[in-house]
Structure 1
Amino acid sequence: MERTSLMIVALLVSLSVVAVKAEDPYVFYEWNVTYGTISPLGVPQQAILINGQFPGPRINCTSNNNIVVNVFNHLDEPLLFTWNGIQQRKNSWQDGTPGTMCPIMPGTNFTYRFQVKDQIGSFFYFPTTDLHRAAGGFGPINIHSRNLIPIPFARPAPSDEYDVFVGDWYNKGYKSLKKILDEGRTFGRPDGIHINGKSLKVGDKDAQPLFTVEAGKTYRYRFCNAGLRTSVNVRFQGHPMKLVEIEGSHTVQNVYESLDLHVGQCASVLVTADQEAKDYYLVASSRFLKNEKFSTVAIIRYANGKGPASSDLPAPPPENTQGIAWSMNQFRSYRWNLTASAARPNPQGSYHYGKINITRTLKIVNTRSQVDGKLRFSLNGISHANAETPFKLAEYFGVGEKVFKYDLMSDEPSNTDKVTVVPNIKNATFRNFVEIIFENHEKTIQSYHLDGYAFFAVAVEPGTWNPEKRKNYNLVDAISRHTVQVYPNSWTAIMTTLDNSGMWNLRSDMWERYYLGQQLYISVLSPARSLRDEYNIPDTNPLCGIVKGMPMPKPYTA
């Protein structure tokens, strides 16, 4: 008996060792990226499809899963995808931006490999090369909590999940838009707004439902604004929305009649089908477009429902100065749910970011100007330009000085009227806790995204920033997210720990501004040069520019 017990104990120990060492599960995808014809606003045009789909296929995974995406480029141009909001721990090699990777050339394929480490929530992918985002190529990334981590809303709700992409659209086509920007002009206002690639008018008799729901059940809608420049407001006819998640953070579950989604942002809401069984409209309308407004609708149909949707649509939020104040107040109402569990078994509220000393402050002012007669956008007087050799590769191979110079952009804006077009690379100290202030002196709204990190969006206010404004920061339960808006003639403050080694893109998510220089890269090098802090470049990553054919550097070791 004693010997049997010892054998059982030994078996359990060995199984536990295997379990500890077991690798997290893998999720595999194969994408064929092609051109196709779509008509989001009723005008046929060339678009970028993935496996024939627009929006593209869903990456559906669980926290800590390893994602493998084999991309076949059937376009006639180089291609890259980025994973908007996925933090890519220690792995900027797979970030999919022109500053970190060589593109996938036409007629070839490349396999992305990354882990959704300690993340949950709603994100999306899109192409970063040229103006490809204007042609589609985007789709959802849904990361679910592991079964042992409770979600902060009752099961079995939601009964289903629906991905909803909203955003502006141009009928000119992405190659025409690129030509306009290359000539030094702006491509101006969009032609309309779409919902999942369609734009409907109230009363369209041939309209098919976007989604079908069953009476009494609750559904999760994951919204993302994948547009180029326009903030969008979303609202359901006769159905309030309970906000439950923003870009990977569970939120305090406030109820909203409508929500603003700025460019690049995602949010999840719960909606209960508790009204009369018939059709209802989901409405998306543009925000902060001077003297012009676009809107579209989609049908949400009750199963076995009778009757069309009412033409009486829910009212949009106010516009102009009053509308900015409305939107600012909505931003301030977002709070992190400190009682919810994170992707790992820790309470999210255990990270007391408000008690960490700030080690560096970057104050960034965006400008619009002319350089040699052509339109450019800049940050603190530097308008970023890409190079033939990705900056991360040049740095890794020890030839960075032949491609770029660090810190041409100062930490404080000085003479922003003088604009220089050069690669914009900022050096940063590993594990520093930094504060970034975005100050917008323009009359148009801005939207910024930081790859590789989540940050705490602690304040947004009108006017200009000074150190005294820190007393207005939310240092307790600000949302941890990756994209934040900056209102006209206003400022926004974010805080984050630079604990993810690599080179990471900080960019305007307004794609015209991104393309014409409103971005930079932050180089975060670990002094240890250790695999504990950063992975080696994958053997499968292509090389290009001046590093092509060079001997590989000595790899990092444990």
Structure 2
Amino acid sequence: MGHGKMFLFLICLLAGTMSTVMGEDPYVFYTWNVTYGTLSPLGVPQQVILINGQFPGPQINCSSNNNIVVNVFNKLDEPLLFTWSGVQHRKNSWMDGTLGSQCPIPPGTNFTYRFQIKDQIGTFFYYPTTSMHRAVGGYGIIRVFSRLLIPVPYPDPEDEFNVLIGDWYTKKHATLLKLLDSGRSIGRPAGVIINGKTAKGDGSDEPLFTMKPGKTYKYRICNAGSKNSLNFRIQGHGMKLVETEGSHVVQNIYNSLDVHVGQCFTVLVTADQAPKDYYLVASTRFTKTILTGKGIVRYENGKGSASPEIPEAPVGIAWSINQFRSFRWNLTASAARPNPQGSYKYGQIEITRTIILVGSSSKVQGKNRYALNGVSHIDGDTPFKLAEYFGVANKVFKYNIISDEPPANLDSLTIQPNVINITYRTFVEIIIENHGKSMQSYNLDGYSFFAVATEPGRWAPEKRKNYNLLDAVSRHTIQVFPNCWAAIMLTFDNCGMWNLRSELAENHYLGQQLYVSVLSPERSLRDEYNLQNATMLCGIVKDMPMPPPYNS
């Protein structure tokens, strides 16, 4: 090859390499050291799970399509996993952080999570899924910003504030776990915290946030608690709702918001009141005893303490159902992609399968268990996703031990792995019924779904006439009120092993969950990523030879 041709060849090769590098989406890197520490969220010193010495943990900041790399060093004395609630890591349930999808990180070791925030914006949070870790910390906010070329349907705020609310126990997580393993309940929380603490109200409280008079601020609010729905409000201020779990919504103004366990909202708040202190308030809903947590928001150069007369929360289920119905998808806003959200006409897609799930609880050998359709789920030593990939699923679990309708008798529970198959790219309707007297909240990993309805009573096919088939919000968590049902609809187009679970920590740990297996029909990289070389192996696959990779 002549010098001229060699030069041209090198230029083309370099251009191709640069195109590949420049064409890849940006990376965001984090290193986390997870430890125990002693804090006093409710004024009582106790053991808390810290990340880099912080509780709540460090925020993850990223933009749509960023690649996230989180190197987690587990310095606890027991295995650990993190999940990224609501973040739809496409084709990559290997990084989902649940015991059905990956092996836990052993004590004294580290594991690096790698996933992409594909075509998403919004407010989410991460938390540990192992044991009862979430009840004592280890959680933090995830903020996903829109790409610069995609307009946001509101002006840029002066600043952004994270608000992680949740009920809180003063017992160690090991104590809570022993209670559950012995057949008892973890009982009522000790209180409610906001960003890891609650205001004393004696004039000594430092503000959580400071606002400039006349400016508008974005508040990202998530209920990261373990058990209770919470009502959130800001003393004397309205909240303009702009986003819910990754979807821009119609911008109504609310005096308070019911935030159920696992849910997130983004609101705009304008500092348009007298310049002084005001309380942020979060209080339990649907409980006999109302627990309340408070925090201070201060006006810059303001004078005067917050009024002790805090606004009361609404009462009853009907109010909350009506608020749910008021949430609407903003069909005129762009999404994380440069196409209108409303171009997806989900109400015109034919339903290929209807699954009715009923949550229940019962005693098994004198111990509390929770179930879906009569099966109380347990995890094994081998994650189900690994068992599938290595071709030994039949040695670890059985598919579809529940039917698409609940059994007539829900008093008798079976304890075993609960894994169902759903065909790739089918459009499915899922009904969740709550026959009990307590509030429920359910999350589906790897997906957003259209929350089309929730109503009192039992579901029947004629109830479909009450569905919102035009602009229901696309989200990942749905509340189910006592003696009510909720309906969601979605296309199962994300291959992997995905967890559908009760967001209530006690119910989740004691079996009220299942896994959805969505398999690539062609074992193709177009549908799902291969197992990464650094992936932890455990159980019966630990020493097995690596199977052939997916085809390109």
TM value normalised by structure 2:
0.96
Shift of 1:410: 1.1
Q: Distance in 1 between matches of 2:354 and 2:326?
A: 26
SS in 1 for 2:397: coil
SS in 2 for 1:181: helix
Match of 1:506 among 500, 504, 510: 500
Q: 2:131 matched to 1:137?
A: no
Q: 2:209 matched to 1:211?
A: yes
1:319-373 Cα deviation digits (max 9, x unpaired): xxxx100000000000000000000111001000000000001000000100111
1:172 alignment partner AA: K
SS in 1 for 2:405: coil
Shift of 1:296: 1.8
* 1:409-558 matches, cutoff 5 A: 409-414=402-407, 415-558=409-552
Shift of 1:483: 0.3
Shift of 1:45: 0.6
Q: Distance in 2 between matches of 1:111 and 1:20?
A: 22
Q: Distance in 2 between matches of 1:192 and 1:487?
A: 22
2:267 alignment partner AA: V
Asked if 1 retains the 8 angstrom alpha-carbon contact of 2:530 and 2:549, the reply is yes
Q: 2:400 matched to 1:400?
A: no
1:165 alignment partner AA: L
1:285-305 Cα deviation digits (max 9, x unpaired): 11011x211112111001111
Alignment-derived partner of residue 282 in structure 1: 280
Alignment-derived partner of residue 342 in structure 1: 335
Match of 1:361 among 351, 354, 371: 354
Shift of 1:18: 2.3
- Greater mean deviation of Cα atoms: 516-525 or 293-302: 293-302
Q: Distance in 1 between matches of 2:537 and 2:161?
A: 39
Q: Distance in 1 between matches of 2:306 and 2:440?
A: 35
Q: What is the percent sequence identity of the aligned residues? A: 67
SS in 1 for 2:62: strand
Alignment-derived partner of residue 260 in structure 2: 262
Asked if 1 retains the 8 angstrom alpha-carbon contact of 2:203 and 2:305, the reply is no
Asked if 1 retains the 8 angstrom alpha-carbon contact of 2:209 and 2:297, the reply is yes
Q: Distance in 2 between matches of 1:139 and 1:148?
A: 28
Shift of 1:381: 0.3
Structure 1: which 4+ aligned runs deviate by more than 2 Å? Answer: 14-21
Alignment-derived partner of residue 3 in structure 2: none
Q: Distance in 1 between matches of 2:18 and 2:177?
A: 55
Q: Distance in 1 between matches of 2:329 and 2:102?
A: 34
Q: Distance in 1 between matches of 2:172 and 2:268?
A: 35
SS in 2 for 1:49: strand
* 1:34-183 matches, cutoff 5 A: 34-154=35-155, 157-183=156-182
Asked if 1 retains the 8 angstrom alpha-carbon contact of 2:280 and 2:295, the reply is yes
SS in 2 for 1:281: strand
Q: Distance in 2 between matches of 1:15 and 1:408?
A: 51
| Cα RMSD for the two superposed structures | 1.5
1:137-178 Cα deviation digits (max 9, x unpaired): 000000000000000002xx3111111010101111211000
SS in 2 for 1:113: strand
Shift of 1:312: 2.1
Shift of 1:434: 0.3
Q: Distance in 1 between matches of 2:467 and 2:165?
A: 30
SS in 2 for 1:429: coil
SS in 1 for 2:111: strand
Alignment-derived partner of residue 220 in structure 2: 222
Match of 1:232 among 215, 230, 233: 230
- Greater mean deviation of Cα atoms: 34-43 or 485-494: 34-43
Alignment-derived partner of residue 3 in structure 1: none
1:475 alignment partner AA: L
1:435-472 Cα deviation digits (max 9, x unpaired): 00001100111000000100000000000000000010
Asked if 1 retains the 8 angstrom alpha-carbon contact of 2:210 and 2:297, the reply is yes
Q: Distance in 1 between matches of 2:385 and 2:543?
A: 16
Q: Distance in 2 between matches of 1:351 and 1:16?
A: 36
SS in 2 for 1:423: coil
Alignment-derived partner of residue 317 in structure 1: 314
Q: Distance in 1 between matches of 2:18 and 2:252?
A: 44
Shift of 1:428: 1.0
Q: Distance in 1 between matches of 2:294 and 2:324?
A: 24
1:531 alignment partner AA: L
Q: Distance in 1 between matches of 2:202 and 2:232?
A: 19
Alignment-derived partner of residue 249 in structure 2: 251
SS in 2 for 1:354: helix
Q: Distance in 1 between matches of 2:420 and 2:25?
A: 34
Q: Distance in 1 between matches of 2:129 and 2:227?
A: 15
2:168 alignment partner AA: W
Unaligned runs of 5+ in 2: 1-7
Alignment-derived partner of residue 294 in structure 1: 291
Q: Distance in 2 between matches of 1:374 and 1:314?
A: 40
Shift of 1:221: 0.4
Alignment-derived partner of residue 4 in structure 1: none
1:486-510 Cα deviation digits (max 9, x unpaired): 0000000000100000000000000
Q: Distance in 2 between matches of 1:294 and 1:17?
A: 57
